[in-house]
Every structure is written in structure tokens, then in C-alpha cells.
């Protein structure tokens, strides 16, 4: 029960993408699907209500003339569901749906720039998946393919995006304690925002991703340590948003005590922009590289079979070759999840 509760994947509802200078260029990747479980009911549904604080809701650079509020409290609701059309010991075929709503409480004072409340976020994210369990030379593993469509909406002038994602992944246990895996992905992003110079700034893009991971399970397989490597290629129409990225992640998760579980991770995302980022007041070569360091931690408290409380903390540091792209963001919050 405890292991299952920890592996639910509550998915912290983090803030929306900000303005162009604070570039989180593409929507978050879809959630991986759990392996099929024989005899499990055909559907899952959970609802999470949350409250938190965000030190930089609009991802404003440290060096800026921005005169609005950056910090805001927020609250919202996240719904996650899955329905398996078919499942047996080896196969699982189904659909998923995630709906997220986030509201920032801080409004705009007269004469100020965008307020955090203009970054209120709504997300609709349906998907399909198929997964197959197998044994290779007696070693258990699984592989799967998924597709999802993600629509994001918020109140700013750049406030709408559509994303299509196709992902394939496989994993296998080399020993009872050591698990390894790989994934490939393809994505297409369409942003509603229109800039004056679309040759430079059109953010519509096609993405290619690949990754590897290795995980060590600590007996009795309720805690683990994981290292990941990810490669990303963002082929945007606008040259300012074209980049290649390499991400290294270290993560530890597992049982702490009694009904309490924990997770901590650190990642570094290193991006190179072959054409730089240029524009008004930013002469060539502009921004040519950016490092994004993220540390996050969360604690889960399994209250009952149906109720789970959580608390989380996350800090993200953006360090670039230009100060206009350097920023810090801290997020902290609590939530309560009900599993139907």
C-alpha cells in the first residue's frame, strides 16, 4: 500500500511559462505511464487541491526595468485520470486526462507592468498509451508508446499554446536492484503569441528528445536512487528559440518513517543557442548559452488509503551569457490529494 501510494505521481503544479526573456520554451513533458497490474480496476482518478507561494510568477530577469509584482500566493486544483480499455498480465492500452488550474492572487497596481494574476494558468492534457511487459533472459522489463495533446491558456498577450507529443520508452531490471531504461520523444509546439520580427522570435517549434536512466532499488524495493541524462533539440521557426540541451538529474525517493515518504532531486539543464538571442537592445551574438539549475524536494503523508497530504519546495536558477536571461525562482506549497 505504501509503495503504491508513493508511486502515484502527484505531479506538483508548478507555475506557468513566463515572458520571452525568461525562457521555458516548451510545455512540460507528459507523465510516464505505470506498468499494467493484473486484476487492477480499469480506471484511476485523483484530485489534488493546493496552496503555495511563488517568488517570481512571471519569471522576470534579475536585471530588468519591470515595475510590477513578481511574488504571489497561488492556489488551484489538479485532476488526473486514466482508463484502461484493455489490460492483462502483459498488455495495457488506455487513455489519460490531466486538467490543471492555477490562480495567482496578486493583482496589478495602477501604472504597473503585468501582474502575477495575468499568469493564471489552465491546462487540458488528454493522451493515449499502450504498454507491454516482457521477460528477456529471465529479466523483467516493459516498453510503451504514448501520445498526448496539451493545451495551455493564461491571460497575457502570449497566453495560449498547443503541443503534440509522442514518446516511446523501455526499461529492464538487470538485477533485482538495478533497473535501466531509455526513451525517445518527438513534439510539436504552436504558440499563439505574434512578435514584430517573427524570423527571430517565432516560438513555434518541433522538438526531438532522448534520454537514459539507471536506478538502484534499496531493499525491499520501496526506496531508490536514480540518475538520468536527457538530450533535447528545439527546432523553432524563430532563430532566437533554437537550441540544443543536455540535462543531468540525480534523484532519491523512498520511505522515511511510518506513513511518510520523501523525494529530493537536483538537475542541471545546459542549453546552447547556435544563433544567439538578439533583438532591441540586445546586439549579436546575444545570449549563446544558458544553464538552468533546479533543486526540488517534497514530502508525502499517506493519511488513509484515499487521502494523501504533501508539501514541496523548489528553487530554479537561470544563469545565461546575458544578464537579461538570469533569474531566480522559489516555489513552496502544500496540497491534499483524494484518490477515488
Is 217 strand, coil or helix?
strand
**Domains along the chain with CATH numbers:** 2-339 (2.40.160.40)
Give yes or no for residue 143 having a pLDDT over 90: yes
Q: Which position has the higher pLDDT, 143 or 40?
A: 143
DSSP secondary structure string, 251-280? EEEEEEETTEEEEEEEEEEEEE-TT-B-BT
Q: What is the pLDDT of residues 292-316, one digit of tens each?
A: 999 999 999 999 999 999 999 999 9
Q: Which position has the higher pLDDT, 59 or 247?
A: 247
Give residue 8's pLDDT. 31
Give residue 16's pLDDT. 32
Residue 172's pLDDT band, with cuts at 50, 70 and 90, is very high
Share of the chain above pLDDT 90, in %: 69
Share of the chain above pLDDT 70, in %: 87
Give residue 31's pLDDT. 46
Grid look-up 490562480 returns 103
Find all residues with CB under 8 Å of 175, minimum gap 6, and list them.
none
Residue 57's pLDDT band, with cuts at 50, 70 and 90, is confident
Mean of all residue pLDDT scores within the chain = 87
Global pTM reads: 0.85
Region 271-275: what's the mean pLDDT?
A: 96
Give residue 61's pLDDT. 87
Give yes or no for residue 138 having a pLDDT over 60: yes
Grid look-up 495533446 returns 149
Q: What is the pLDDT of residues 198-253, one digit of tens each?
A: 889 899 999 999 999 999 999 877 899 999 999 999 999 999 999 999 999 999 99
Q: For the chain, how are helix, strand and coil distributed in percent, rounded to 5?
A: 5, 60, 35
Amino acid at each position: 500500500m505504501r509503495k503504491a501510494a508513493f508511486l502515484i505521481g502527484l505531479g506538483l503544479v508548478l507555475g506557468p511559462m513566463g515572458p520571452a526573456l525568461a525562457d521555458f520554451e516548451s510545455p512540460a513533458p507528459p507523465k510516464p505511464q505505470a506498468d499494467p497490474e493484473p486484476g487492477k480496476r480499469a480506471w484511476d482518478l485523483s484530485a489534488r487541491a493546493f496552496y503555495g507561494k511563488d517568488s517570481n510568477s512571471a519569471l522576470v530577469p534579475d536585471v530588468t526595468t519591470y515595475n510590477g509584482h513578481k511574488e504571489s500566493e497561488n492556489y488551484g486544483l489538479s485532476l488526473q485520470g486514466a482508463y484502461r480499455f484493455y489490460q492483462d498480465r502483459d498488455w495495457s492500452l488506455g487513455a489519460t486526462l490531466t486538467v490543471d488550474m492555477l490562480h495567482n492572487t496578486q493583482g496589478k497596481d495602477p501604472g504597473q507592468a503585468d501582474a502575477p494574476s495575468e499568469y493564471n494558468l489552465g491546462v487540458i492534457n488528454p493522451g493515449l498509451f499502450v504498454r507491454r511487459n516482457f521477460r528477456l533472459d529471465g529479466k523483467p522489463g516493459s516498453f510503451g508508446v504514448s501520445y498526448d495533446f496539451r493545451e495551455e491558456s493564461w491571460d497575457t498577450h502570449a497566453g495560449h499554446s498547443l503541443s503534440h507529443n509522442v514518446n516511446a520508452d523501455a526499461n529492464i531490471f538487470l538485477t533485482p536492484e538495478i533497473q535501466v531504461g531509455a526513451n525517445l520523444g518527438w513534439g510539436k509546439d504552436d504558440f499563439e503569441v505574434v512578435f514584430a520580427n517573427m524570423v527571430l522570435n517565432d516560438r513555434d517549434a518541433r522538438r526531438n528528445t532522448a534520454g537514459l536512466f539507471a536506478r538502484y532499488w534499496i531493499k525491499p524495493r520501496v526506496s531508490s536512487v536514480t540518475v538520468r541524462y536527457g538530450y533535447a533539440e528545439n527546432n523553432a521557426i524563430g532563430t532566437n528559440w533554437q537550441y540544443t540541451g543536455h540535462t543531468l538529474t540525480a534523484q532519491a525517493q523512498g520511505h522515511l518513517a511510518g506513513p511518510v515518504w520523501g523525494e529530493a532531486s537536483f538537475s542541471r539543464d545546459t542549453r546552447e543557442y547556435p544563433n544567439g538571442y538578439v533583438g532591441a537592445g540586445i546586439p549579436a551574438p546575444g545570449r549563446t548559452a544558458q544553464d538552468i539549475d533546479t533543486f526540488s524536494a517534497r514530502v508525502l503523508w499517506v493519511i488513509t488509503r484515499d487521502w494523501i497530504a504533501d508539501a514541496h519546495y523548489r528553487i530554479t536558477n537561470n544563469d545565461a551569457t546575458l544578464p537579461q536571461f538570469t533569474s531566480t525562482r522559489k516555489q513552496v506549497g502544500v496540497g491534499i490529494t483524494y484518490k477515488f
